[in-house]
Amino acid sequence: MIFVMQETKMKDKYITIGNVDVGIFHSQREVIDEMFHRLANTGSSVAIAINPEKILVSLESDVIANIIEQSDIRFPDGIGVVKVMEWRSRQALPRLPGCELWQSLMAESGQRNEPVFLVGSTEDVIQKTAEQLQKEYKVNLVGVQNGFFRDDDALIDQIILSKARVVTIAMGSPKQEEIIFKCKNAGVQAIFMGVGGTYDVYTGNVKRAPKIFCNMGLEWFYRLYKQPTRIKRQWRLAYYLWLVLLKRI
């Protein structure tokens, strides 16, 4: 595969890495405000987490590239993305883990009494997620659907009937994004966020790295230690950094 050398492109609100314009945000609050601003002004908002792997895949897959391009908010979830953004913009920027941003979105939705629909994970995990959200944030849940369904159109009909204004889908990429854009194309007006394994983390079904690792930007190392099979993904991270250093992305 041949990569075309690219100059750093920086605007007031984003930095381009590869062919992905990653949003410059200084806090979770900024992202949440942008979500609700777009919902109020355009009728919908699609937020996608950006990490090094997703940037590389976008260079290899037109499907992923199109999904990312169609999204409204691309926030830096991976430490490898944040460090490149800091280097190119010469400013300190926070990493915005998707699982933490989702929790902030749920807290804000509870305060606003916005109707929320959850999709994904197993039946047990999604029910636990629903119970915890109602208890912790008083979230106005209008529907839940586990990730084991066959009919996308039937799910979209459920979401439309629920009149949800916030929809989060935990099915992994690119499936969760495919569902999001099917919903959007069907006329669903909502904040959409693909959240991967977030429900499992929130319910304690999967443990995150200790805070000291997260704060040092070493969550990837902890995951590798716990799951050595992730070594191939870490080689991808090394490849990403090599491309950055050579200014090919």
The CATH class for the domain spanning 98-198 reads alpha beta
What does the alpha-carbon distance between residue 163 and residue 191 come to, in Å, rounded to a whole number?
12
Q: Are 140 and 114 in contact (CB under 8 A)?
A: yes
Chain CA centroid to CA 197, Å: 10
First to last CA, the chain: 13
pTM higher than 0.75 for the full model?
yes
* Beta bridge partner(s), residue 73: 47
**pLDDT average, residue stretch 35-39:** 98
pLDDT digits (tens, 9 = 90+) for 158-207: 999 999 999 999 998 889 999 999 999 999 999 999 999 999 999 998 87
What does the alpha-carbon distance between residue 108 and residue 130 come to, in Å, rounded to a whole number?
15
Q: Are 45 and 35 in contact (CB under 8 A)?
A: yes
Q: Output the pLDDT for position 227.
A: 64
pLDDT digits (tens, 9 = 90+) for 229-244: 666 677 788 899 999 9
pLDDT higher than 50, residue 7: no
Domain ranges in the chain?
Answer: 98-198
pLDDT digits (tens, 9 = 90+) for 55-114: 999 999 999 999 999 999 999 999 999 999 999 999 999 999 999 999 999 999 999 999
**pLDDT average, residue stretch 24-29:** 98
Q: Output the pLDDT for position 5.
A: 35
Q: Output the pLDDT for position 238.
A: 86
Q: Nearest 5 degrees, angle CA 217-CA 85-CA 35?
A: 90
**pLDDT average, residue stretch 25-44:** 97
pLDDT higher than 90, residue 223: no
Q: Is 207 left (phi over 0), alpha (psi -120 to 50) or beta?
A: beta
Q: Output the pLDDT for position 79.
A: 92
Q: Output the pLDDT for position 224.
A: 58
